[in-house]
Structure 1
Amino acid sequence: MTPRADQADPAGPHPVVEPLPALTSLRFVAAAYVLAFHFAGYEAGRAAMPDAVFLGYSGVTFFFLLSGFILAYNYQRVDLSPRAARLRFLRARVARVYPVYLLALAIGLPWFVVWTAKVVPPLQTLMASGAVLAPLGLHAWVPGAACSLDCPSWSVSAELFFYALFPLLLPLALRRPGPTALVTLAAWAASVALAILAWNRFAPGLSLIAPTTDAATLLAQAIKYNPLLRLPEFVAGLLLFVLWRRVRLPLGVLLTWAGAAALALVAGVETIPEPLMHNGLTAVVWAPVILAGAQVRSGPLTAGWFAFLGRISFALYLLHVPAYAFVSSLDRTVLAGRLAGTAWLTVALATLLSLAAASAVHLAIEEPARRRLLRPRAPAREAAPLPSA
């Protein structure tokens, strides 16, 4: 029997809701898209990368949108104003992200040490600060540190900021969606406009995605990773849920919308300013995809194997860069560079290792740790009365 949204789970931070399995599966699609972007960049570079693959960084925009959508879906009937409710929410989010997050940071430490040693101050000092800031979830705020220790982890730093604001943002989105949408759109437009002006002024002709100087690298990270600049994408996810709750557009309309928007963005890769494309414009593609996925109740996206891939997607996202670094290091130290001339084999090995590691971590660490952290605490026992004299 499918649980209803109004059935309370006394042990959980929110009422039990009806599963949305297609959205779980789509998480894997987005994670795989980010993986393809990174691996193609490592092996082929931008010049040999198809434009559609180059936009793989936009998978993070999907995750921010989906995070807002799902959290609004789960907590729409929860009053988060009491301190106890907020603490339950934050405990649930920490249990969800921190076990794999800390593991990924630990796995990435050897390459962090090597890469940090190769650069010079001030970038070296900023990169080294990631060793302290990343475990605290603060590194996305500091250019240089944001991408120093397992680069994909910057988005978790941003998500932790979103979680802190969620109890304030959810009531605004649910009760005043119109004004909230206008303020969010204005804030996004202003931040992107300033980012474009700064990039054109201080790094003209360079790529935001792969800057070639230390100064441009720091500016690029300030634009790409700063949680405040990415907040509109999360709020857009909250508002997307409000739209979905009120209006159910036909699947054909949503898929046509997503396809047309995707074609337009791919065609405009060379002309659309990179800060605009990187920091949220691709939501015009991902928003209808999420709306469509929320309606799907049958078909391949709801298959058990696809849902499992969706459940390991968080681990896949965080572990694929260390997996690639491991394969590359193995090739240099053990295989004498034999993989260097066969990019497809390097990518295939790194992909298989990423999937295997993500599956193992999900089953052996992520889920057991989450259940343990969310286990209800046993009530304190009252002290036995002292025997009378």
Structure 2
Amino acid sequence: MDNNIAKTPKEFFLCLEGIRGIAAIVVATRHIDYFNPVKTPMSFLAVDLFFVLSGFVIAYNYESKLRSGATSFASFIFSRLVRIYPLYILGSSIGLTCILLQNSSNLAGLSKDFGLALFFLPDLAKLPIYPFNHPAWSLFSELAFSFIYAGLLVQRRSAIIAVTALISFVGFSYAVVSNGSADVGYQPSFFLFGLLRISCSFSIGVLIFRHRHYLEAKLRMPRIGAGTGTLLIYCVTFIALALPLPRRLVGLTIAYDLFVVAVVFPILVVLALQCKPIGKAGSVSKLLGKISFPLYAVHAPLVIVCDLVFGSEALMKLAPASGFLMLLAFIGISIALEKYFDAPIQRRRRRKLIAPLPPETVISSA
């Protein structure tokens, strides 16, 4: 492990914020059904990018504190729950309200489902396993593995983390081949493979943190301006997630998914760590970082709201304009949620922790 990293002043990883913001926007386009004929078939890979970023940023913010005992395991659990749960349960509550307005005849089933949702638990007897907030499976998976990391892996050598990543990748690859793509984890039959999916990418993120200086020396960012470098990284991120790869070419899809997860995303993160956006590029990156988690946490329930208010048929007739307008509205709502809902909660969270934490730099990652 590169121990010098923990001793350097805390950094703001603006380029990582921007990457996560772009990934959150692409995911939202996947779940908004009104972008026809515009398609982003590979957008599910954004989840794997989130997991790499989470592994790096959680290790950066917590590893030295957990190893030294400055932050206890209980404090870590508290911090992670308060970081993720408020926006998650807000989104789930919006989803429940909309479903009740559409059909209130199944109150017993909805009560059971929301009881599980209150405890962040999936219903593995149905699809979607989080009926009020479909993408929440990935938040649960990240939360669960972050606890495993803090409780079992944080004190282990990098070799153990690497073995964890390798074994997880093998199991994840089996699921990818069986499913025909890396879009696994949200289905009851592939739920446990979703945990392998997070284990693989999260562990890669931890390894990037521990060996950051070595990796940056081997993978140098081209000597171009900060704005140009930022734009280049953001373009590569968008292309990787929005590439219109024909889904009928199953073999090509499987190879592409595994290559992007194992090679492209780790390299992208290492290069992004060397990019320091300033000026307008820095402001845009910061904004993307602010909206990323609120957008990811509530966009799926907001789609149900739009369907309920405007009607899916009317929205489809106006596609893709209706899709773009919904996305812009969701981004505006996310800005407001970050400022007036999430930021105050996170400020109170930091004050309650025994050991104050550094300011967060990426969505659900700290």
Q: TM-score, normalised by structure 2?
A: 0.76
Q: Once the two structures are superposed, what CA deviation does each residue of 1:18-60 show, in whole Å capped at 9, x if it has no partner?
A: 2211111221111011112222xx2367xx554xx11111111
Q: 1:327 to 1:363 in 2, by over 3 A?
A: same
Of residues 303, 306, 316, the one that matches 1:340 is 316
Secondary structure of 1:156's counterpart equals helix
Larger radius of gyration: 1
1:319-330 matches, within 5 Å, as: 319-330=298-309
Q: Once the two structures are superposed, what CA deviation does each residue of 1:170-218 show, in whole Å capped at 9, x if it has no partner?
A: 232xx2x234323421332134315634x58xxxxxx8869xxxxx964
**Aligned residue identity for 1:196:** V
Secondary structure of 1:303's counterpart equals helix
Of residues 166, 170, 173, the one that matches 1:189 is 170
Higher relative contact order (CA 8 A, sep 6+): 2
Q: Match of 2:364? A: none
Secondary structure of 2:130's counterpart equals coil
- Between the aligned partners of 1:347 and 1:104, the Cα distance in structure 2 is 20
Q: Is 1:25 paired with 2:1?
A: no
- Between the aligned partners of 1:59 and 1:293, the Cα distance in structure 2 is 16
Secondary structure of 2:251's counterpart equals coil
By how many angstroms is 1:304 displaced?
2.0
Of residues 52, 59, 76, the one that matches 1:89 is 76
Secondary structure of 1:19's counterpart equals coil
- Between the aligned partners of 1:353 and 1:328, the Cα distance in structure 2 is 14
- Between the aligned partners of 1:169 and 1:301, the Cα distance in structure 2 is 39
- Between the aligned partners of 1:154 and 1:49, the Cα distance in structure 2 is 26
Q: 1:302 to 1:243 in 2, by over 3 A?
A: farther
By how many angstroms is 1:128 displaced?
6.8
By how many angstroms is 1:314 displaced?
0.2
Q: 1:316 to 1:140 in 2, by over 3 A?
A: farther
Which 4+ residue blocks in structure 1 deviate beyond 6 angstroms? 114-119, 253-256, 273-280
Q: Once the two structures are superposed, what CA deviation does each residue of 1:351-384 show, in whole Å capped at 9, x if it has no partner?
A: 1221121111111110101112332489xxxxxx
By how many angstroms is 1:5 displaced?
5.5
- Between the aligned partners of 2:10 and 2:310, the Cα distance in structure 1 is 47
Q: Match of 1:222? A: 191
Of residues 182, 199, 212, the one that matches 1:231 is 199
By how many angstroms is 1:145 displaced?
5.3
Secondary structure of 2:10's counterpart equals coil
Q: Is 1:170 paired with 2:154?
A: yes
Q: 1:332 to 1:266 in 2, by over 3 A?
A: closer
Q: Once the two structures are superposed, what CA deviation does each residue of 1:278-309 show, in whole Å capped at 9, x if it has no partner?
A: 68853422212211111111347852233022
Q: Match of 2:143? A: 160
**Is the contact made by 2:56 and 2:209 (CA closer than 8 Å) also made in structure 1?**
yes
Q: Is 1:318 paired with 2:301?
A: no
Which stretch shows the higher mean deviation, 279-288 or 57-66? 279-288
Q: Match of 1:245? A: 213
Q: Match of 1:59? A: 46
Of residues 273, 281, 286, the one that matches 1:307 is 286
- Between the aligned partners of 2:301 and 2:136, the Cα distance in structure 1 is 11
Work out the percentage of aligned pairs sharing the same amino acid: 23
By how many angstroms is 1:141 displaced?
6.2
**Is the contact made by 2:172 and 2:196 (CA closer than 8 Å) also made in structure 1?**
no
Q: TM-score, normalised by structure 1?
A: 0.72
